[in-house]
Structure 1
Amino acid sequence: MKSIVGQLTKLEFKSIFRNKHNIMWGIGYTVIWIFVYAFAFPAPPQEYKLGYLASYVSFIVLLGGSTAVIPASYRVAIDALPHIYLYRSTNASLYSFIISILVPVFIFGALISTISFIVGYLVFEYSYGIFPAVNLIILLIALIEVTFFYISFGIFMSYILLNLKGIKLLRYIEMIPTVLILGLILGLQIMRSPSLELLYISPFNAIYTAFVISITGTGYSSIMFNNLAIQNIYLLLSPILWAGMLLILSIVFYHIYYLSSAKNEFKLEDLYA
């Protein structure tokens, strides 16, 4: 069993990290956002620099972390569509299949999120000339949560599209979290006055706010968000609950898909057609 898990996991690592689309969308796209925000706009007044730095870095980390959706969703589709593949030519159990997907995808997503935070933090420190301390505990929890949430989101959306026979739409799946981030965070939380309900209920806003707090602290963040009495525990619980719910729904749609006629309608080639 261990040898099968090891071989499949190694294969997934190579598949993910050799995929130019994953790397370009994850690192290249994120770095572009960092330099646009840091140098294309004039620096804010001194009293607002900390808030701007925290907002920009947190927003960028959410965009960078969303790249975990891509390998997670594609991996689900690859296994679900008829083809000759290593998983189908071995006696690999569901356990080994899950481990071989989650471990490489989690490491990839966590790596991109961490790189996004470090690069963004350093670039904005240089651009704004301020050097705020970071709450490493909240930051670490937020990095883990954003990765797990996006993995569960990618798996869930894959089974939704498979059941709806929209396999060709999977190539655009990475745009879904980007649109939601722009709408919920840039549109509602930054451009308008947020409510506690928005921060707690929306996993995107909860993760964003947790990253902001890891840089600014709870007191300054409360001032940024119109003196809201933000409770860190609720921010950190929201993404976990959402990820768990999405994984449960993914199991439901997994069984629906394998019992439906949609299972044999498409082949692997259709994913890249």
Structure 2
Amino acid sequence: MKVKYKKLSKKAYHVTTGTFYSTSYLKKANHLGVHYQSTTFYTYQQATVTRANGSKAVYYYVKSSNGKVKGWIWHSYLKKGAVSNKKTATTATKSSNKTAVTTPATSTTGSTTSTTSATAPITALQAGGTSSATSVAGGSTSTGTSTTPASDSYAVSIEGPIADGSQVWASETVKVKQGDTAFTALQKLCRDNNMQMGYTGSGTSVYVSSINYKGAGTNGSGGGWLYSVNGAFPNHSAGGYDLQGGETIVWMWTQNSGDRGYNF
């Protein structure tokens, strides 16, 4: 990895999502943007990160107005302007749970995806399951950013690998209905965007094994899918997380322990 720096003029920004890193080499996450939606940040430096595969991503080094929160964040997660006084902060606590999950061997035929399970020593915040299921097929991606939902709605988004700039593959805000869970929210998002999703198990023991054909173990046994709700990582399956309204659900690809703010 190569990093090229340049100074930036001090300008005000705010964030709605994303991850802050302690260095421009993006090895250690130290803050989650969802916790600081009511904080104004100021830019100081830019880092253009060139990875071994030649892909590039631009990160800004920012500090909060009081100087207590600082780090490197992907520039597209920053929105111009100071936070409005009407914005309210989102607070959440972080919990963890270690489980053994399964790695699917995926084969695609026509418009369905079938999964067969193979055990892999990856830890993720999803409960494992033994029964298999088919999913919505497709391969297209869309970009967008999630916004803070109203109390009768939820926002759900999918973030791709950090190595690709944590791009938002898809996002939408939906009116909450009885029976909605963090898992059914992902199902709807994938259907609406014609994206593949593979999973095993059912009910409160469902495990998401692949999204947009990126499956657990794709880049080694450390890779998999995590989900957060309002910035916190629930300690059980997404199928058991009932939505009431006002939640922001983010499904994110994690490659290494700590790269998404959760150490497994």
Q: TM > 0.5 between the two?
A: no
Which has a greater percent of helix?
1
Bigger Cα Rg:
1
Which has a greater percent of strand?
2
